[in-house]
Amino acid sequence: MIRAAAVQFNHKAGDKAYNLERIRKFCKEAHQQGVQLISFPEMCITGYWHVRNLSRDEVSQLAEPVPDGPSVKELVEMAKTYQMIIGAGLIEIDSDGTLYNSFVVCDVDGTVHNHRKIHCFISEHMESGQDYTVFDSSLGHKIGVLICYDNNIIENARATALQGADILLAPHQTGGTDSRSPFAMGKIEADLWHRRHEEPEVIEGEFKGDKGRGWLMRWLPARAHDNGMFLVFSNGVGIDDDEVRTGNAMLIDCYGRIIAETWKAADDMVVGDLDMSLLERSTGRRWIKGRKPHLYDSLSKVSGEEVDPRTARFK
């Protein structure tokens, strides 16, 4: 068994000190519950949606090198203090000045793993990563990472599973988006969030409905089930610039079943036990063994329909 936690919290744009303090608070609570692995949302250290409106200089001022930046060093210290693996998102700046939407995972021995979002679209000044991220952990199981939109592309989940991931960390900033698709998410009025204490049932109804959980249930459990992986879904919640994130933090087992979840309109954490003995006979793992790769050449051919995820927003 591995005790895992998924966190949703309402970050403050550009306020690293506040956001890291929220991370520390949840890590302390998780430690008291015996958690061994905890995952926080995408870009929760730097803030997310406001970044689309920042200049390159402004994005660079928020960014840090990995693993030598102060925020990562603080995460490493927390991982050692609380003896748990900690994953959290931020903006990375490489040695050549390239900017990435990154998610760092710090193990209890101080080891730092880093995933650069493969489908980055938040800023025209940020680049997409080019690699999958799967690594050995102190838990004795391989962990993979896919950030938000990365999880929407089914090939990414399969490639991560084929590299041996037993657990997939899936940090997001999603839900409540005014999507171009009429059946994917949908805008949530900010006033509902502001009235959450007086009328919690109204905003939580939205979070449980098609703008939040309903949309996630159409595809997220399938990523876990079809690939025989446990999935840890962490997300922002509440006002994120001019959108409302829906939270819905959850743990999903390798059969696509919900282990623990929340739809609270508040910062929250869900904790549950991942029964790793389920992996070997899971449906997804048996199906993967039945693959016929010689039939799949078309999956790696360029169709001409591919677009950079930033194109629709910035070009």
- Identify the pLDDT of residue 181: 82
Please state the CATH superfamily assignment of the domain spanning residues 2-292+305-314 in this structure. Carbon-nitrogen hydrolase (3.60.110.10)
- Identify the pLDDT of residue 312: 57
Residue with tokens 């919690």: 200
Residue with tokens 């760092």: 104
Confidence of residue 314 (pLDDT cuts 50, 70, 90): very low
* Mean pLDDT lowest among 181-185, 186-190, 235-239: 181-185
pTM of the predicted model as reported, rounded to 2 decimal places: 0.96
**Closest among 111, 125, 181 to 152, alpha carbons compared:** 181
Structure confidence by residue, pLDDT tens digits, 103-112: 999 999 999 9
Four-CA torsion 30, 35, 41, 45, nearest 10 degrees: 60
Structure confidence by residue, pLDDT tens digits, 45-75: 999 999 999 999 999 999 999 999 999 999 9
- Kindly report the average pLDDT of the chain as a whole number: 96
Question: In 10 A of CB 71, how many CB atoms?
Answer: 20
Q: Is the confidence at residue 182, as pLDDT, over 80?
A: no
**Residue 91 contacts residue 100 (beta carbons within 8 Å):** yes
Exposed e or buried b per residue across 4-26, where buried means at least 16 C-beta atoms within 10 angstroms of its C-beta:
bbbbbbbbebeebeebbebbbeb
- Identify the pLDDT of residue 304: 85
Average the pLDDT over 258-269 and give the result. 98
DSSP structure string for 237-282: EEEETTEEEE---EEE-TTS-EEEE---SSSEEEEEEE-GGGSTT-
Confidence of residue 173 (pLDDT cuts 50, 70, 90): very high
**Residue 229 contacts residue 284 (beta carbons within 8 Å):** yes
Average the pLDDT over 284-312 and give the result. 88
